[in-house]
Amino acid sequence: MSDRRLDVRKTYKLLINGAFPRSESGRSYEVASAKGAFLGNVALGSRKDVRDAVVAARAAQTKWWGATAYNRGQVLYRLAEMAESRRDELAEHVTLAEGVSAKSAQVVVSRAIDRVVWYAGWTDKIAQVMGGTNPVAGPFFNFSVPVASGVVAVIVDQNSSLGGFVDAVLAPVCAGNTVVVLASERRPIPAVLLGEMTATSDFPPGVINIITGRTSELAPVLAAHEDVDGLDLTGAPEEANELALLAAGSIKRVLRPDGRDLDASLRRLRAFIETSTVWHTIGQ
């Protein structure tokens, strides 16, 4: 018997409702490295895949928001643990996708993992920083309570294969939102690998859903979808005006790129949080 064998080539699939389906259209597309070499076939998502992902995100939102903030933090920290254990694999794919050195890729991965931990730490602090007790004239307590917007559609940075994905996705997730993510069209593989880790890091199915494919084809579908509550346009600066107009039909919250460093501030955390006012009588 010959010792020669064929490699088991991987087709990178979607993440919808905790499962990894191929696109319902049966399509895929080739992804190349920064140097032009073939990396793999990636599922080419369709409008139907987007709709399925939104349905999954909506079904998961109540359960995710209903979990304690401490539990959400534990789940995010578990994701950091898993990413740490596979850091070399992630770094290899960052090197291939972005054309950076192995050392620089390790820095990118370290920063991404650190950001996961950072967001894990914010889950039980959002209410303290963004909520408060309000003074009122009368025998009442009045509280401002931050609550999740709901289902958030995220178009991630097209140039950042991993770091941009972490910041854009985990900010709304740590606040209790569920997300439908349109990964970088040219550099999706590191994000898909991290998405695979969410399936075994205690995230309820549907909290994070990842679609790969053509941004020009799928972004308008997300923007116009009436069951999406928020839209992050970080990865579509040139199409931001058009997509924001589509989002206006269902009155979404929209986060638009404006040249400021979103990752260095709390703007991402605040972007998809509503404020609920609660009254309660004193002594009753």
- Please report whether residue 4 resides in a domain: no
Whether 97 maps to a domain, the answer reads yes
Report yes or no on 3 lying in a domain.
no
- Tell me the pLDDT tens digit for each residue of 246-273: 999 888 999 987 766 555 568 888 899 9
Tokens 């991965």, residue located: 109
Confidence band, pLDDT 50/70/90 cuts, at residue 218: very high
In this structure, is residue 116 part of a structural domain? yes
Q: Is residue 2 part of a domain?
A: no
Lookup: tokens for 247: 């989002």
Count the domains in the chain: 1
Contact 217, 50 (CB under 8 A): no
Strand order in the sheet with 151-155: 208-211, 178-182, 151-155, 230-232, 253-255
User: What average pLDDT does the structure give for the chain?
Assistant: 91
Q: Does residue 119 belong to any structural domain of this protein?
A: yes
H/E element, 147: strand 140-148
Please tell me the distance from the alpha carbon of residue 254 to that of residue 245, in angstroms, as a whole number.
Answer: 10
Q: How far is it, in rounded angstroms, from Cα 247 to Cα 227?
A: 11
pLDDT at 43 over 70: yes
CA–CA separation, 78 vs 203, rounded Å?
A: 9
Domain that holds residue 231: 13-281
Does residue 128 fall inside a structural domain? yes
Reported pTM: 0.92
Residue-wise pLDDT tens digits, 127-158: 888 888 888 888 888 888 899 999 999 999 98
CATH of residue 122: 3.40.605.10
Residue 18 lies in a domain: yes
| Per-residue tokens: 155 | 């178009």
Share of the chain above pLDDT 70, in %: 96
Nearest by Cα to 154 from 135, 132, 176, 173: 173
